A and B are shown apart, each in its own frame.
Chain A
Amino acid sequence: KQEVTQIPAALSVPEGENLVLNCSFTDSAIYNLQWFRQDPGKGLTSLLLIQSSQREQTSGRLNASLDKSSGRSTLYIAASQPGDSATYLCAVPPSNQAGTALIFGKGTTLSVSS
């Protein structure tokens, strides 16, 4: 059964720091991996989607990497800003199939102070 773990659970950094959020999954046979952002009391905003054949994806100050063989993904945030404060969720499908529901980690809650 696929399980997703995110470390750390919470992170506080001063503005301007570069930071790395970690995600690990137990079954490496994934179709893709997705990173989301969730603001308090709000829904999910998709940040990056990495297909199983890809090693990384970049969007602005965000870079997500994927190492399927080791069951790990990292989300790198460059030059963090107070507006980056949110919970970041990592999710994968339960199997190597498209079009299925996602299994989520518990998230990393990031706080960036000005």
Chain B
Amino acid sequence: GAVVSQHPSRVICKSGTSVKIECRSLDFQATTMFWYRQFPKQSLMLMATSNEGSKATYEQGVEKDKFLINHASLTLSTLTVTSAHPEDSSFYICSALGQGRNEQFFGPGTRLTVL
């Protein structure tokens, strides 16, 4: 089956620092990747849609200058949380969609804790 990895799996940082999270499709090319955020005991909420070679599309209420997304290749998308604050602490999950597929494959998630 299709495998999606995320790195790091867990990160703790100080307030004001920037954190980069990588999402990779390991055995298929992902034309589209999605970034979700999940707060404790809540469901996953879409943050942005990332298409290879173009600018990401952000959901309403998600600051594009704070959550920088780069999808430079068909197997890698990165999410950078700039100037992180404690309220950005959350579980970030990416998913990838291959060409011609209608099923998303999810990464294992990244737990971000901002002190």
- Does B associate with A? yes
Q: Is the CB of B43 within 8 A of A99?
A: no
Chain B residue nearest to A109 (CB atoms) is B41
Task: Give the contacting residue for A102; candidates B6, B101, B104, B107; CB below 8 A.
Answer: B104
Q: Which of A42-50, A60-68, A77-85 contacts B (4 or more CB under 8 A)?
A: A42-50
Q: Is the CB of A42 within 8 A of B104?
A: no
Q: Is the CB of B103 within 8 A of A43?
A: no
Cα of A91 to Cα of B43 in the assembled complex, Å: 10
Q: Is A57 an interface residue (CB 8 A)?
A: no
Q: Is B105 an interface residue (CB 8 A)?
A: yes
Q: Is B21 an interface residue (CB 8 A)?
A: no
Q: Is the interface of B mostly helix, strand, loop or mixed?
A: strand
Q: How large is the interface on B (under 10, 10 to 19, 20 to 34, 35 or more residues)?
A: 20 to 34
Cα of A44 to Cα of B93 in the assembled complex, Å: 9
Q: Is B102 an interface residue (CB 8 A)?
A: yes
Chain B residue nearest to A94 (CB atoms) is B46
Interface 1/0 per residue, A63-103 and B, CB below 8 Å: 00000000000000000000000000101000000110111
Chain B residue nearest to A9 (CB atoms) is B41
Q: Which residues of A contact B42 (CB under 8 A)?
A: 106
Given A42-B108, A44-B106, A46-B105, the answer on whether A105 and B43 have CB atoms closer than 8 Å is yes
Q: Which residues of A contact B84 (CB under 8 A)?
A: none
Task: Give the contacting residue for B111; candidates A41, A91, A104; CB below 8 A.
Answer: A41
Closest approach, in angstroms, between the C-beta of B67 and any C-beta of chain A? 15
Q: Is the CB of B34 within 8 A of A101?
A: yes
| Interface pairs A-B: 4 shortest CB-CB | A98-B102, A43-B108, A44-B106, A43-B109
* 10 A-B pairs whose Cβ atoms sit less than 8 Å apart in the complex: A32-B103, A42-B109, A43-B107, A45-B106, A46-B103, A46-B106, A89-B44, A101-B46, A104-B44, A106-B43
